[in-house]
Amino acid sequence: MNILSKKSLPLGGFAGLTEHRLVTDRRVFGSRKAPNTFDGIGNFVYLADAQFNPHGQTHMHSHKEIDVISIMMNGRVSHEGSLEHGQSLNTGEAQVQRAGGEGFSHNEVNPDSTKNRMLQLWVLPDESGQRAGYKHYTLKANGVTRIYGGKKNQGQTFSSQTVIDVVRLSSGESITFDEEVLAYVSQGEADFADENSTFSAQDGDLIRTFKTKITANSNVEIVVVSQSV
């Protein structure tokens, strides 16, 4: 079990936001990989825990051949750009933007006079040259919401061998993963137990682990990234 806490990392950012970057995979960042950050798993290559300043924005920028996943933790953002212009992302919602070969441009804006909080993840596509696309999700109040990955013959999520689930558990509930996972505790506290060790995790902890039981010590939200076989 390997553990990385956002509290141990420097606070960075750009434009109208500040962020802790926990995953900067060397396949994408190369020599620009941030010190002490994790590499990803499967095609998952980036994780940032960000806060937008009041009325802050990223400004219009483009992506190509990357899938951009945003999970809204607190507050909201207004989404502008070539995919679903005018869509809002509110607390407890997630959006997935597939750039594909044609790419997309977007700007994310905090419309409010208080800070918000958003997680952003990047995943490389299994296949290049796909069409750009957009999907929006409302997270289940309790249980598992799959927001990314799965087989090609389903339309609920963008297909990928890399899978992203948002797990919400009430205090005392547990869930088990048999495969290797990267799990980011985005809210609450939980105990992680694998074959060799245990760890009491809290908001801001990223855990790489294998054959693991997770037990909630409070109402908890965990973003779990794995690779399907």
More confident of the two residues 46 and 61: 46
The closest alpha carbon to 96, from 84, 112, 111, belongs to 84
Query: For 130-149, what is the mean pLDDT?
Result: 95
Domains of the chain: 2-227 (2.60.120.10)
Q: Is the pLDDT score of 156 beyond 70?
A: yes
Q: What is the pTM of this model?
A: 0.95
Query: For 32-55, what is the mean pLDDT?
Result: 96
> Cβ contacts of residue 118 below 8 Å, gap of 6+?
50, 51, 52, 70, 71, 72, 73, 75, 77, 89, 108
Percent of the chain exceeding pLDDT 70 equals 99
pLDDT number for residue 85: 67
Percent of the chain exceeding pLDDT 90 equals 85
- Are the CB atoms for 99 and 65 separated by under 8 Å? yes
Q: Residue 43 CB: number of other CB atoms within 10 A? A: 20
Secondary-structure breakdown of the chain: helix, strand, coil percentages, each rounded to the nearest 5: 5, 60, 40
Query: For 46-58, what is the mean pLDDT?
Result: 95
Burial of 34 (0-12, 13-18, 19+ CB in 10 A): middle
Q: What would the pLDDT profile of 180-219 be if each residue is shown by its tens digit?
A: 999 999 999 999 999 999 999 999 999 999 999 999 999 9
Q: What would the pLDDT profile of 59-73 be if each residue is shown by its tens digit?
A: 888 899 999 999 999
> Could you give the CA distance from residue 167 to residue 161 in angstroms, rounded to a whole number?
19
Query: For 14-28, what is the mean pLDDT?
Result: 95
Query: For 44-50, what is the mean pLDDT?
Result: 97
86 pLDDT tier (thresholds 50, 70, 90):
low
